[in-house]
C-alpha cells in the first residue's frame, strides 16, 4: 500500500448504522442500529480509523455536501459519541466495508459469497 494512504473501515449510514425505510431528505437520519453501532465502537476501541461511507455526500448538482457532512457528523456525535469522517470515495486504504447493499465476492475468483440475502433472489 502507498505510504500516504491510511487504512480505514467504512460503515454505510442508511440501512446499516441508521434505520432506513424511505428517503426523507438530507435533514433526516433514522434511529441508530444498535448492533452496528456497537460494532463500529469496537473497531474504534481497537484503534481503527472509521469513516461513514455514504452516497449522501456524492457531488451532485445543487447538493451542499459540506452541509450534509455536518448533518451526518452531528448524528454520529449524538448517537456514537464521535464525529466521524464522511466520504463517498473508496481508496486503497479501505480494509472493510459494512453496507446493506453490497454482495461479497471471493477475492480473485468472481464467485459470490452466498448468504441469506443472495438466497432470496
Instruction: Give the CATH number, domain containing residue 88.
Output: 3.40.50.1000
Q: How far apart are CA 64 and CA 46, in angstroms?
A: 33
Please give the DSSP secondary-structure letter assigned to residue 103.
-
Asked whether residue 2 is domain-assigned, the answer is: no
State how many domains the chain has: 1
47 is in which domain, residue-wise? 8-120
Q: In this predicted model, what pLDDT tens digit does every residue of 8-64 receive, in sequence order?
A: 999 999 999 999 999 999 999 999 999 999 999 999 999 999 999 999 999 999 999
Asked whether residue 97 is domain-assigned, the answer is: yes
- pTM, entire model: 0.87
Asked whether residue 92 is domain-assigned, the answer is: yes
Q: In this predicted model, what pLDDT tens digit does every residue of 82-108 receive, in sequence order?
A: 999 999 999 999 999 999 999 889 989
Asked whether residue 93 is domain-assigned, the answer is: yes
Asked whether residue 33 is domain-assigned, the answer is: yes
CA dihedral 79, 85, 86, 91 (to 10 degrees): -140
Asked whether residue 3 is domain-assigned, the answer is: no
Amino acid at each position: 500500500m502507498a505510504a500516504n494512504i491510511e487504512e480505514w473501515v467504512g460503515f454505510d449510514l442508511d440501512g446499516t448504522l441508521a434505520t432506513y425505510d424511505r428517503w426523507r431528505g438530507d435533514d433526516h437520519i433514522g434511529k441508530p442500529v444498535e448492533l452496528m453501532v456497537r460494532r463500529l465502537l469496537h473497531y474504534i476501541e481497537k484503534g481503527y480509523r472509521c469513516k461513514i461511507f455514504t452516497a449522501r455526500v456524492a457531488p451532485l448538482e445543487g447538493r451542499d455536501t459540506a452541509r450534509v457532512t455536518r448533518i451526518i457528523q452531528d448524528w454520529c456525535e449524538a448517537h456514537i459519541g464521535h464525529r466521524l469522517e464522511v466520504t463517498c470515495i473508496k481508496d486503497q486504504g479501505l480494509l472493510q466495508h459494512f453496507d446493506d447493499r453490497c454482495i461479497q465476492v471471493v477475492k480473485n475468483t468472481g464467485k459470490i459469497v452466498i448468504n441469506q440475502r443472495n438466497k432470496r433472489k
